[in-house]
Amino acid sequence: MIGDGRLVLVTGAASGIGEACARALAQDGFRALATDIAPPPPERRHADCIYWDAPFDVSDPDLVAREIEAIEARHGPIDGCVHAAGVLGRMSPAEKLRADVWRREIDVDLSGTFYVAQAVGRKMIARGRGAIVLVASITATTTSSAHAYSAAKAGVASLTRTLASEWGRRGVRVNAVSPGFTRTQGLERALQSGVMDEARMAESSAMGRIVEAREVGAAASFLICDRASAITGANLPVDAGFLAGVTWDPYGRARSQA
């Protein structure tokens, strides 16, 4: 199969996009090792994934380094990494954004991304091979009321290009996926509470819908596998055409209708 049993670490894999990435990798023949700050209970685990039971807090660089060592000692070399761990705090006007909310999102979403990439990157550089996929967001290139989250994801997009340039000749590819509005447990809660409106999100996209988490997982698995062997430094939008379609809104119904 495509993955040929190679080990891929997935962070934030207890739910949402991280869970979908782990499942896609496992279905593509990788050994998907799922980590999370709160590992899922047995009834929420998938038989085709490997689960790391120790809490994996990406905002703690020392813990990340220790857990990477322990994972390799037990399961062998990490050939790939999909870093999906992240947090999104309560959105508020910039002038009312609390400093602790800002710090938490930057610590997890940006600093945590670097800590994980650095820890697995060291191992990959030493072996002369590896592939890393970071999860950014369409908010990295648009505007959003999620101020800290958007700033962090813009940093992830920049970090992707920097690491790809620095590590490319040492055998390590680094890419990113930028999900649009994606159907996850968190988004479903926001839709049910009325905080967000699916019809409005769908209307802004070229494809007229939001993204399914499995579609982000499929894109991440592709970037990890050898079929993407000449791709590095890319930031792939997986957004049902949101970035392409959102600027059509001022033209009303000018978009062609099927």
- For residue 252, what pLDDT is reported? 64
How far is it, in rounded angstroms, from Cα 76 to Cα 175?
23
> What does the mean pLDDT of the chain come to?
93
> Per DSSP, what are the bridge partners of residue 242?
none
Query: Which residue did the predictor score with more confidence, 1 or 24?
Result: 24
- Segment 214-244, tens digit of pLDDT: 999 999 999 999 999 999 999 999 999 999 9
Q: Please pick, among 51, 115, 149, 251, the residue that the annotation labels catalytic.
A: 149
How many angstroms separate the CA atoms of 72 and 14, rounded? 20
User: pLDDT at position 175, please?
Assistant: 98
Percent of the chain predicted with pLDDT > 90 = 79
Set out the domains of the chain in order of their start, with CATH numbers.
7-179+217-230 (3.40.50.720)
* Residue range 141-160: mean pLDDT, rounded: 92
Q: What are 242-258's pLDDT values in tens digits?
A: 999 888 877 765 555 55
Which has more pLDDT, 91 or 73? 73
Give the residue with greater pLDDT, 185 vs 14.
Answer: 14
Task: Give the pLDDT confidence score for residue 70 in this predicted structure.
Answer: 98
SS3 (DSSP) at 92: coil
**What is the distance of C-alpha 44 from the center of its chain?**
20
202: pLDDT confidence band, cut at 50, 70 and 90? confident
pLDDT value of position 230: 98
At CA 164, angle to CA 65 and CA 109, rounded to 5? 50
pTM (2 decimals)?
A: 0.94
Q: In 3D, which of 90, 84, 85, 40 has the Cα closest to residue 190?
A: 90
Catalytic site includes residue 251: no
Strands 7-11, 78-83: pairing is parallel
